[in-house]
Protein backbone atom coordinates (compact mmCIF):
# COMPACT_ATOMS: atom_id res chain seq x y z
CA UNK A 1 0.00 0.00 0.00
CA UNK A 2 2.93 2.34 0.71
CA UNK A 3 4.16 2.02 -2.88
CA UNK A 4 0.67 2.72 -4.20
CA UNK A 5 0.39 5.85 -2.03
CA UNK A 6 3.74 7.20 -3.20
CA UNK A 7 3.23 6.42 -6.88
CA UNK A 8 -0.31 7.79 -6.95
CA UNK A 9 0.83 11.02 -5.31
CA UNK A 10 3.53 11.53 -7.95
CA UNK A 11 1.02 10.89 -10.74
CA UNK A 12 -1.18 13.64 -9.31
CA UNK A 13 1.56 16.16 -8.51
CA UNK A 14 2.49 16.96 -12.11
CA UNK A 15 -1.04 17.93 -13.26
CA UNK A 16 -1.61 19.75 -9.97
CA UNK A 17 1.51 21.90 -10.38
CA UNK A 18 0.75 22.49 -14.06
CA UNK A 19 -2.89 23.50 -13.53
CA UNK A 20 -2.61 25.28 -10.18
CA UNK A 21 -3.36 29.00 -9.89
CA UNK A 22 -1.80 30.09 -6.59
CA UNK A 23 -2.37 33.49 -5.07
CA UNK A 24 -0.66 35.18 -2.14
CA UNK A 25 -3.40 34.65 0.44
CA UNK A 26 -3.91 30.98 -0.36
CA UNK A 27 -0.15 30.40 -0.41
CA UNK A 28 0.02 31.84 3.11
CA UNK A 29 -2.94 29.81 4.43
CA UNK A 30 -1.70 26.66 2.72
CA UNK A 31 1.82 27.28 3.98
CA UNK A 32 0.62 27.55 7.58
CA UNK A 33 -1.34 24.29 7.26
CA UNK A 34 1.67 22.58 5.68
CA UNK A 35 4.07 23.80 8.38
CA UNK A 36 1.70 22.50 11.06
CA UNK A 37 1.56 19.15 9.25
CA UNK A 38 5.34 18.96 8.90
CA UNK A 39 5.83 19.82 12.58
CA UNK A 40 3.41 17.08 13.64
CA UNK A 41 5.00 14.57 11.26
CA UNK A 42 8.46 15.49 12.54
CA UNK A 43 7.43 15.06 16.18
CA UNK A 44 5.82 11.72 15.39
CA UNK A 45 8.74 10.45 13.29
CA UNK A 46 11.17 11.29 16.07
CA UNK A 47 9.06 9.34 18.57
CA UNK A 48 7.93 6.16 16.79
CA UNK A 49 9.91 2.92 16.52
CA UNK A 50 7.86 1.27 13.77
CA UNK A 51 6.75 -2.28 14.53
CA UNK A 52 9.44 -2.60 17.24
CA UNK A 53 7.39 -1.18 20.10
CA UNK A 54 3.94 0.24 20.70
CA UNK A 55 4.48 3.98 20.83
CA UNK A 56 1.97 5.73 23.11
CA UNK A 57 3.90 8.88 24.07
CA UNK A 58 4.37 12.25 22.42
CA UNK A 59 1.84 12.84 19.65
CA UNK A 60 0.76 9.18 19.92
CA UNK A 61 -0.83 10.02 23.28
CA UNK A 62 -3.28 12.29 21.40
CA UNK A 63 -3.96 10.32 18.20
CA UNK A 64 -2.99 6.86 17.01
CA UNK A 65 -1.94 8.20 13.61
CA UNK A 66 -0.11 11.51 14.01
CA UNK A 67 2.00 10.84 10.91
CA UNK A 68 -1.19 10.55 8.88
CA UNK A 69 -2.81 13.56 10.55
CA UNK A 70 0.36 15.49 9.70
CA UNK A 71 0.21 14.19 6.12
CA UNK A 72 -3.41 15.32 5.92
CA UNK A 73 -2.52 18.84 7.07
CA UNK A 74 0.47 18.95 4.73
CA UNK A 75 -1.53 17.74 1.72
CA UNK A 76 -4.43 20.04 2.52
CA UNK A 77 -2.00 22.95 2.81
CA UNK A 78 -0.40 22.25 -0.55
CA UNK A 79 -3.76 21.83 -2.29
CA UNK A 80 -5.22 24.98 -0.71
CA UNK A 81 -2.15 26.84 -1.98
CA UNK A 82 -2.99 25.50 -5.45
CA UNK A 83 -5.61 28.22 -5.75
CA UNK A 84 -8.78 26.36 -6.72
CA UNK A 85 -11.42 24.62 -4.59
CA UNK A 86 -11.18 21.42 -6.67
CA UNK A 87 -7.66 20.59 -5.40
CA UNK A 88 -8.58 20.22 -1.71
CA UNK A 89 -11.71 18.27 -2.67
CA UNK A 90 -9.69 15.85 -4.81
CA UNK A 91 -7.05 15.57 -2.08
CA UNK A 92 -9.61 14.70 0.61
CA UNK A 93 -11.16 12.05 -1.67
CA UNK A 94 -7.73 10.56 -2.45
CA UNK A 95 -6.66 10.70 1.18
CA UNK A 96 -9.84 9.04 2.42
CA UNK A 97 -9.62 6.22 -0.13
CA UNK A 98 -5.93 5.46 0.32
CA UNK A 99 -5.21 6.26 3.95
CA UNK A 100 -8.44 4.76 5.26
CA UNK A 101 -7.33 1.35 3.99
CA UNK A 102 -3.79 1.92 5.20
CA UNK A 103 -4.88 2.74 8.75
CA UNK A 104 -7.19 -0.27 8.89
CA UNK A 105 -4.36 -2.57 7.83
CA UNK A 106 -1.92 -1.04 10.27
CA UNK A 107 -4.39 -1.33 13.15
CA UNK A 108 -4.80 -5.02 12.34
CA UNK A 109 -1.00 -5.50 12.27
CA UNK A 110 -0.50 -3.64 15.56
CA UNK A 111 -3.24 -5.75 17.14
CA UNK A 112 -1.36 -8.88 16.05
CA UNK A 113 2.01 -7.56 17.23
CA UNK A 114 1.00 -5.99 20.54
CA UNK A 115 -2.29 -7.70 21.44
CA UNK A 116 -4.14 -6.41 24.49
CA UNK A 117 -1.86 -3.37 24.89
CA UNK A 118 -2.81 -2.12 21.44
CA UNK A 119 -6.50 -2.84 21.97
CA UNK A 120 -6.45 -0.91 25.25
CA UNK A 121 -4.59 1.94 23.57
CA UNK A 122 -7.04 1.96 20.62
CA UNK A 123 -10.00 2.07 23.02
CA UNK A 124 -8.70 5.32 24.56
CA UNK A 125 -6.91 7.13 21.72
CA UNK A 126 -8.77 8.09 18.53
CA UNK A 127 -7.45 7.12 15.12
CA UNK A 128 -7.42 10.63 13.62
CA UNK A 129 -9.07 13.48 15.51
CA UNK A 130 -6.73 14.14 18.45
CA UNK A 131 -7.78 13.97 22.09
CA UNK A 132 -7.62 17.22 24.02
CA UNK A 133 -5.49 15.66 26.77
CA UNK A 134 -2.77 13.05 26.40
CA UNK A 135 -3.59 9.44 27.28
CA UNK A 136 -1.22 7.79 29.71
CA UNK A 137 -0.56 4.08 29.21
CA UNK A 138 -0.92 2.02 32.41
CA UNK A 139 2.33 0.25 31.48
CA UNK A 140 5.77 1.83 31.34
CA UNK A 141 5.84 3.85 28.09
CA UNK A 142 8.84 3.85 25.78
CA UNK A 143 11.09 6.87 25.26
CA UNK A 144 10.27 10.18 23.64
CA UNK A 145 11.46 12.20 20.68
CA UNK A 146 15.04 11.90 19.48
CA UNK A 147 16.74 13.50 16.48
CA UNK A 148 18.38 10.15 15.74
CA UNK A 149 14.95 8.50 15.39
CA UNK A 150 13.72 11.41 13.26
CA UNK A 151 16.65 10.81 10.89
CA UNK A 152 16.23 7.03 10.98
CA UNK A 153 12.63 7.44 9.84
CA UNK A 154 13.80 9.73 7.00
CA UNK A 155 11.29 12.44 7.81
CA UNK A 156 13.44 15.05 6.11
CA UNK A 157 12.04 13.71 2.81
CA UNK A 158 8.57 15.12 3.57
CA UNK A 159 10.08 18.52 4.35
CA UNK A 160 12.11 18.50 1.15
CA UNK A 161 9.05 17.54 -0.91
CA UNK A 162 6.98 20.32 0.67
CA UNK A 163 9.75 22.85 0.10
CA UNK A 164 10.03 21.94 -3.58
CA UNK A 165 6.24 21.95 -4.07
CA UNK A 166 5.78 25.31 -2.41
CA UNK A 167 8.82 26.65 -4.25
CA UNK A 168 7.17 25.81 -7.56
CA UNK A 169 3.83 27.29 -6.46
CA UNK A 170 5.48 30.51 -5.25
CA UNK A 171 7.49 30.80 -8.48
CA UNK A 172 4.34 30.25 -10.52
CA UNK A 173 2.46 32.89 -8.51
CA UNK A 174 5.36 35.34 -8.77
CA UNK A 175 5.62 34.95 -12.53
CA UNK A 176 1.92 35.51 -13.27
CA UNK A 177 1.03 38.28 -10.88
User: What's the total number of domains in the chain?
Assistant: 1
3-16 confidence digits (pLDDT tens): 666 667 777 888 88
pLDDT band per the 50, 70, 90 thresholds, residue 83: very high
Assigned domain for 10 exists: no
Does residue 96 belong to any structural domain of this protein? yes
Q: Is residue 5 part of a domain?
A: no
pLDDT at 91 exceeding the cut of 90: yes
Q: Annotate the chain with three-state secondary structure.
A: CHHHHHHHHHHHHHHHHHHCCCCHHHHHHHHHHHHHHHHHHHHHHCCCCCCCCCCCCHHHHCCCCHHHHHHHHHHHHHHHHCCCCHHHHHHHHHHHHHHHHHHHHHHHHHHHHHHHHHHHHHHHCCCCCCCCCCCCCCCCCCCCCCHHHHHHCCCHHHHHHHHHHHHHHHHHHHHHC
9 occurs within a structural domain: no
Using a cut of 0.95, tell me whether the model's pTM lies above it: no
Q: What's the CATH code of the domain at 134? A: 1.20.120
- The pLDDT of 108-124, averaged and rounded, is 96
- Determine, yes or no, domain membership for 8: no
Give the per-residue pLDDT at 142: 72
Asked if the model's pLDDT at residue 106 lies above 80, the reply is: yes
| Structure confidence at residue 98 (pLDDT) | 86
Section 58-72 average pLDDT = 97
Give the pLDDT of residue 13: 82
* Local confidence band at 17 (pLDDT 50, 70, 90 cut-offs): confident
* Structural domain span for residue 37: 23-176
Amino acid sequence: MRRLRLRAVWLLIVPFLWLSQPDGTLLLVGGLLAVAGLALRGWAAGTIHKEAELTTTGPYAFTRNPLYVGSFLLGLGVTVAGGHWIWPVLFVAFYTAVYGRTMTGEARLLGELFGERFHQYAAHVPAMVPRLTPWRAPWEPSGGFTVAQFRRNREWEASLGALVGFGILVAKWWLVR
